[in-house]
Structure 1
Amino acid sequence: MSLTIQQIITDAKKLAGRLKEQDSIAGSLLTETHAISKKIDAMKQFQEEVDQLNEVANQKPHSQLIANIQKENRHLREIQQENRELRSALEDYHITLEHIMSKYRAHTQEQIYKSKVDYKALQNQRYQYIIQQQADKIQEMAAIMQKAAMMDEDKELRFEEIVSQLKAENQGLRELLALSKRLDATNMEDKNLQTES
């Protein structure tokens, strides 16, 4: 059984075709290997950058920073609720004070009408005693009014202090939130750059 030249050429063509197929398969495997290698390098670089960001954030992971911000947000909402309650209590206090003052005015007018006396009879000791009593009552009521006014001013000063503290805390929280957003934006840009590459 001798091989003819035609058979040798046909076998050589088949072998050449198979070599070309295997060469193209090897080329595609090599390309895929380079792509996977690049992805691994990008993932290593991403992990290094995340580690650096964690070091910058005082060794706190991103999730812990978000948890802290959420905790501060809850605290801020509690403070705002307390602020609303204080405002409501202050309004109630003003309404109560107005009610007391109107009762005081009505009582004072009533006492003034009751205490009208004949000026000629003022020489009488009895009328002088009544006038002294009325003067003492008026002084007592004036002292009560002055004390109520001072309490109102103290309450307003405390309210203003709380408002200024809330503003300062709110500003700090806004800065933390802005920092968190910048970190998120940086992470997203890094991920986008890695996926594009």
Structure 2
Amino acid sequence: MSLTIQQIITDAKRLAGRLKERDSVANFLLSETHAINKKIDAMKQFQEEVEQLNEVANQKPHSQLIANIQKENRHLREIQQENRELKLALEDYQSTLEHIMTKYREHTQDEIYKSRIDFKGVQDQRYQYIIQQQAEKIQEMAAIMEKAAILDEDRDFKLEEVIARLKTENQGLRSLLKISQNINLNTEDKNIQTENL
């Protein structure tokens, strides 16, 4: 009898080991099935998207899509040319403004140098009149300099506006170019798909 109980215990241990092995195999098979189900779902979703794209592509003839793409490309080239012309105009404007400011500074320095007077001899009535005239000239020059500073600030503001506008145009051009490239790629994919059919 003790032999039979011992055999039963060893058989039970062996069965428990087999159950553990089968349990791990079952877990592995479950994880594999989940992975395969996910792949199947992804393939179904891809198939649905391809069918939607084919429906959209079939609604418009390919020649019309190509004509639209070419039209957009021409429009992009025109915008890029305009962008280049605006940049050149901006550079011209900046160099002209720098030249004007340099001349203005030279002129004001000359005027300041010419308007210097000998303050030691300014005790006489005559010199008082000269001082008053010089003060008026200095006030006029100060007003001119203030106007020039305002113009300089306006120029900087306008330059910033032009640069901001060019940046937004550039971003718009880039997005249009991406859209055009995506349309080209989609058209090529559709052509390949229709050729495969």
TM over 0.5: yes
How many residue pairs end up in the alignment? 143
Quote how far apart the aligned CAs of 1:50 are: 2.6
Aligned with 1:91 (options 79, 82, 95): 95
Corresponding letter in the other structure for 1:188? E
Aligned position for 2:159:
159
Report the RMSD for the aligned CA atoms in angstroms: 2.4
| Larger-Rg structure | 1
Contact 1:69 1:173 (C-alpha < 8 Å) held by counterparts? no
Structure 1 61/191 Cα, relative in aligned 2: closer, same or farther at 3 Å? closer
Are 2:113 and 1:106 equivalent residues in the alignment?
no
Q: Which residue is equivalent to 1:139?
A: 139
Tell me: CA distance 1:191–1:69, structure 2 relative to 1, closer, same or farther (3 Å).
Answer: closer
Rounded Cα–Cα distance in structure 1 between residues aligned with 2:151 and 2:145: 10
Higher relative contact order (CA 8 A, sep 6+): 2
Are 1:72 and 1:173, in contact at CA under 8 Å, matched by a contact in 2? yes
How far apart in 2 are the matches of 1:51 and 1:173? 28
- Which 5+ residue runs of structure 2 have no aligned equivalent? 1-52
1:149 aligns with 2:116: no
Give the SS at the match of 1:64.
helix
- Out of 46, 51, 57, the position equivalent to 1:50 is 57
Question: Scaled by the length of structure 1, what TM-score is found?
Answer: 0.63
Deviation track 1:44-96 (CA, whole Å, cap 9, x = no partner) reads xx9854344x49xxxx7441243134223313311321221122122111112
Moved more, 156-165 or 70-79: 70-79
- AA aligned to 2:134 is Q
In 1, Cα distance between the equivalents of 2:78 and 2:124?
Answer: 72
Residue 196 (structure 1) aligns with: 196
Amino acid in structure 1 at the alignment position of 2:118: K
SS of residue matched to 2:118? coil
Q: CA deviation at 1:178?
A: 0.9
Is the Cα contact below 8 Å between 1:69 and 1:176 reproduced in 2? no
Q: Secondary structure at the match of 1:123?
A: coil
Structure 2: how far apart are the matches of 1:193 and 1:49? 14
Q: Which amino acid aligns with 2:131?
A: I
Structure 2 equivalent of residue 26 of structure 1: none
Identity of aligned residues (%): 31
In structure 2, distance between residues paired with 1:51 and 1:152: 58
Q: Partner of 1:118: helix, strand, or coil?
A: helix
Q: What letter corresponds to residue 85 of structure 1 in structure 2?
A: A
Name 1:128's counterpart in structure 2.
Answer: 128
Q: Is the 8 A contact 1:79 1:166 kept in 2?
A: yes
Unaligned runs of 5+ in 1: 1-45
